[in-house]
A and B are shown apart, each in its own frame.
Chain A
Amino acid sequence: MKRVLKYVWKDYKFSCIVVVLCIVLAAFTNLKGLTFIEVLIDDYIKPMVGSENPDFGGLFLALAQLAGYFAVGVLCTYLYNRIMVNVTQGTMRNLRKALFSKMESLPIRYFDTHAHGDIMSVYTNDVDTLRQLISQSMPQTINCAVTIVSVFYGMITNNILLTGLSLVMVGIMLFTTKRLSKKSGYYFRAQQKDLGQVNGYIEEMMEGQKVVKVFCHEEKSLEEFRKINEQLRDSADNANKFANIMMPINGNISNISYVLCAVLGAVLAVNGYMGLTLGALISFLTLNRNFSQPITQISQQINSIVMAQAGARRVFELMDAEPEPDEGYVELVNAEREADGEIKEVAERTGFWAWKHPHKAEGTVTYTPLTGDVVFDDVDFGYDEKKQVLYNIKMFATPGQKIAFVGSTGAGKTTITNLINRFYDIQDGKIRYDGININKIKKADLRRSLGIVLQDTHLFTGTVMENIRYGRLEATDEECIDAAKLANADSFITRLPDGYQTLLTGDGSNLSQGQRQLLAIARAAVADPPVLILDEATSSIDTRTEKLVQEGMDRLMQGRTTFVIAHRLSTIRNADCIMVMEQGRIIEKGNHEELIAEKGKYYQLYTGKFAS
């Protein structure tokens, strides 16, 4: 909670001060209006009653003065409300921006270990609870506090004894509020939990609704649903019940307080004790009403404060997550080869890249040309400490070579590709890229030198052209179209209603799986990286599109070092080296002919027969 306040304070110091000032002023003028009745009755009405020639001039002046106060009050109210809009919305914007930029810096591990729905809900539900807190609960609490203090001051200067009585009643009110909000808080939490359960159940069942139908499981699924639905009804009923009755209870305690004060006040006034005048008593009674009102209001805020607390916790959890570390210092730069064979760094794009390797100790810089030579030296890896996934991986790929990985799901094929671009860091061993340990290379530069086509293609909202250009932002339209042609995507794109300007939405849901894959290949082609990582699609696309995809991929692979998670014979056959993986180990390696001759696991997989 404190951090939320700090967050608001950080960017809006001046606004906050003005807001608090305005709230105080507004509350003060409000109080003026309330106490005016006393002045009105005692100073103006009473003397005039019965007089022959009542003079309303004085009253008029007093009212004019009061109107002045009111004007200030209205102005202040408008001002602080208006400023709060900017403060609230601005804080929301800053929070969202900070969250997003934090999210972009998080390692892949974070996304793999957190449900996507949970991350999303931070942006929507949790930030929203904070909006409520900042825009409503905070100013209202300040307002109520100021009102309470100023009304209390008015009361105490009016009559101490009556003030004491009011305080006792307020004490009772606070006590019941505390008891009730504890109960309703308990049920609100239960409701949230039950709602989550209902949500999860619906999600699972709707996802599998076709299976439910095929198995005629409707009755059972309904029965199960009714159980948790009833639970939710019960907790929602209780949560709302306690929240609902808070208001009448507080309101009527304040009524009782009023009666008690009236009776006691009357006794005092009639007998002339403590100099209590009739007007003063009446205005005290008005003050009394206004004393309990803000307390009732604050008690109404309690639930939203509790909810905001939970929201804030999740927001700051994401905010505090460890970003992806990057201690690399080797950079990728555009270069030129001089006449004498020396490599020189240049500013413009030359198509020739070099690694800029500064040596701190000697204070010199060396340049190594980017070629795409990748070596794995005894690499061990596990997603968490306890469970090792890869064991002693040893392999090398010289520039332009094609390396294929085959093996069952969970054998560790995808994991290897995750290590080359440092989505995950290895536990033991070394990976060298053009002879440089990849830990020394800046992550951004390392990834820029690698092209990746994933099995599940992700596209972004925007035109087809923009999606292809994602590979290299400064690529011209011609370059994008050339890349599309290379990837075999041009023919289907030109057949789309708006060609390259067709708008894609919802992860390219208006395209088929195969078409999306072709776009992903084009995207990688535009980036033109020396090293490629390909995850071939499985059988979800039909044979004809598959042929197109395959041709596109083959063309893209030409002249590049390629790591491919292979499913197709053609890819495997012409691979320079095939790694057969099983349970995190490379169990066989060699080219197709060698492995067939070996009659091992590969032979068995390939022929579908068990070697005798």
Chain B
Amino acid sequence: MIRTILKQVKQYKKPSLLTPLFATLEVIMEVLIPYVIAAIVDKGIDGGNMQAVYRYGAIMLVMAMFSLLFGILAGKYAAAASAGFACNLRDSMYENIQRFSFSNIDKFSTAGLVTRMTTDVTNIQNAYQMVIRIAVRAPLMLICSMFMCFFIHVRMSLIFVVAIIFLGIVLISIVLTAMKIFDVVFKKYDDLNASVQENVTAIRVVKSYVREDYEKSKFTSAAENLYKLFSKAESVVVLNNPVMMITIYGCVLALSWFGSKYIVAGSMTTGELTSMFSYIMGILMSLMMLSMIFVMLTLSTASAKRIVEVLTEEPDLQNGENPIMEVADGSIDFNAVSFSYKQSSENETLKDIELHIKSGETIGIIGGTGCGKSSLVSLISRLYDVTGGSVCVGGRDVREYDMEVLRDNVAVVLQKNVLFSGTILENLRWGKEDATEEECREACMQACADEFIRQLPDGYNTYIEQGGTNVSGGQKQRLCIARALLKKPKILILDDSTSAVDTATDAKIRSAFAKSIPGTTKLIIAQRISSVQEADRILVLEDGRIDGFGTHEELLASNEIYKDIYETQVKGGGDFDEAAGGEG
């Protein structure tokens, strides 16, 4: 996992290596400086030797300058390396997502992907910066300080060894205990946020049923719970500080006691004692940093895992070798096709589909929710691969085509369709990048969108908000149809794409299709019988199987399901959808 992530360092290897290098140099300077301080005290001040004070003072100044230089360089490269690394991570994730097939996309939620690419990457960025700056620095500081202590006085240094072992054991056990509690805390925290989110989205229900007080008491107990757990976890963590202080103070006391003895006995100088005092700080600080790094790395493993999941997700659709670059015509053949979303699942979404559609035909598809309508059409543009049998477009298996060529020729207007922030023209040009305004207008006329667009204050240059929130459902659907039409596809698939358009406009769109793109094979999925009634043939799907395939009259005479739907809609309790009004 770590290797997968580290691969993304790429062009930032140089700063990633320079950072620890400069950090090392900085540490060496920092470790040497107390030694020079000792020299100033012992050789200079103690003996009243001003010459020595000047000399060592100058040495220390130079070292401080170098330390400053190295420190700045280390900080600068660390920032460059970690920011660049994060940038690469985002880039690679985004790039891989672009290669995802539909079934890959289904695995991740939008919110999940957004967190992975922002919060998780930021966590990794911070952890990485910390590691390259401090992970080298802290142990190095520890070793160098220890070395210097031993160099000054071996027996006194044993005090540090005891202190380090004590502190190490205590810190690690504190961290481990706290982590366990924190695991629970974070789960509770998620629950609390979920409850807030629920209240924000369902505020109308809460207010309608006058349940404000009820919700408040629910939230209060959740917040109270979180408070208890969090306090428990943190009260373990705060032991860090006093333990640290006990160790430092213990060292100070021991150093003073033994130091005095050694000095009196003549085996140590006062200057050496002072520099020993500054090394204590260095050693203990680096231990503290190590425990912090430990916590940080443990916390970021969760993020790393989530990032790697995206990076290693293998797109399961690949272009074949020597792909075909041209689609001959708009004929579609399903040869004994079976399909399920999960490879292992026994639950087949589509079973034994045998279907042959001629180029230029208009086919209506009807059936209940979950009967496999959308799955069926998504196989045509190879959004998913079949599990058995084959789907052919223009007489060739879809898997033989270059995917881009196939999808340019098979235009799908998805059920859950989206407009992007940008002007109407920009959105339309998704269909054809270099489409002229004239072409766009023509497509909009076919989709009955031209009329309402002209009424907008900025016409075709009207800015569409993210998710198309500033146009109505029906308008959005018509824009999506126009966008697909611009591709001039050989096959056009409308997956329940006129559900929010009123019956009259729906009919107008269909008649425009018949007139302007007669050669295009049209597949229309609908809930409304009126939308498919006039199709050349109508396919009735039930439970993943073809239940009937024929003209309206034939089906009405022979097909039970079709008859049933027809009766409920037209006779009994038909559908009176979002009527036209001002927008038609």
Contacts and interface: CB of A to CB of B under 8 A. Distances in A.
Given A222-B98, A410-B582, A249 B68 contact: yes
Q: Which 5 A-B pairs have the closest CB atoms?
A: A248-B71, A408-B581, A244-B75, A570-B573, A458-B202
Which secondary structure dominates chain B's binding surface?
A: helix
Contacts, number: 454
Nearest to A71: B249
A442 to B, nearest CB: 10
Interface residues of A, number: 165
Nearest to B240: A81
Interface string B191-234: 01111111111111111111110111001100110110011001
B502 to A, nearest CB: 7
Contacts of B234: 85, 88-89, 135
6 contacts: A67-B249, A74-B245, A100-B199, A103-B196, A423-B207, A605-B504
B153 interface: no
Given A85-B238, A248-B72, A256 B64 contact: yes
A40 B223 contact: no
Contacts of B242: 74-75, 77-78, 81
Interface string A203-217: 111111111111111
A545 B369 contact: yes
A585 to B, nearest CB: 11
A295 interface: no
A544 interface: yes
A567 B502 CA distance: 11
Given A407-B579, A447-B208, A251 B71 contact: yes
B118 A195 contact: yes
B68 A211 contact: no
B53 A263 contact: yes
A75 B201 CA distance: 48
Nearest to A601: B581
A86 interface: yes
Nearest to A232: B87
B579 A539 contact: no
A96 B407 contact: no
B472 A410 contact: yes
B386 interface: no
A434 B421 CA distance: 47
B306 to A, nearest CB: 14
Contact of B71 (A40, A54, A86, A252): A252
Given A203-B110, A286-B274, A543-B527, 15 more contacts: A41-B270, A56-B260, A77-B245, A85-B231, A93-B224, A120-B193, A198-B117, A199-B114, A233-B86, A240-B78, A248-B68, A265-B45, A408-B579, A421-B208, A539-B527
A507 B111 CA distance: 15
Nearest to A551: B573
B257 to A, nearest CB: 6
A458 B208 contact: no
Interface string B39-80: 011001110101001100100110111011011101110111
Contacts of B502: 408, 605, 608
Interface in A491-521: 506-507, 512, 514
Nearest to B100: A209
Which residue of B91, B98, B574 has the most chain A CB atoms within 10 A of its CB atom? Answer: B98
Contacts of B75: 241, 244-245, 247-248
B125 to A, nearest CB: 7
Contacts of A92: 227, 230
A208 B270 contact: no
Contact of B420 (A85, A202, A204, A582): A204
B215 A104 contact: yes
A119 interface: yes
A249 B431 CA distance: 56
B228 to A, nearest CB: 9
Interface stretch (B160-168, B347-355, B410-418): B410-418
A33 B195 contact: no
Interface string A337-369: 000000000000000000000000000000000
A210 B416 contact: yes
What is the interface of chain A mostly: helix, strand, loop, or mixed?
helix
Contact of A407 (B277, B565, B581): B581
A252 B64 contact: yes
Contacts of B368: 542-544
Nearest to B271: A282
B467 interface: yes
Nearest to B76: A241
B45 A262 contact: yes
Contacts of B499: 538-540
B416 to A, nearest CB: 7
B578 A567 contact: yes
B57 A263 contact: yes
A454 B204 contact: yes
A85 B235 contact: yes
A278 interface: yes
B76 A245 contact: yes
A452 interface: yes
Interface in A514-567: 514, 523, 527, 538-545, 547, 550, 566-567
Nearest to B236: A85
A285 interface: yes
A135 B234 CA distance: 10
Residue of B70, B204, B473 contacting most chain A CB atoms (<10 Å): B204
Interface string B415-433: 0111011000000001100
B538 to A, nearest CB: 15
Contacts of B478: none
B442 interface: no
Interface in B266-315: 266, 270, 273-274, 277-278
Contacts of B57: 259, 262-263
Nearest to A410: B472
A70 interface: yes
Contacts of B133: 244
Nearest to A230: B87
B71 A249 contact: yes
B17 interface: no
A289 B216 CA distance: 52
A259 B370 CA distance: 80
Contacts of B76: 241, 244-245
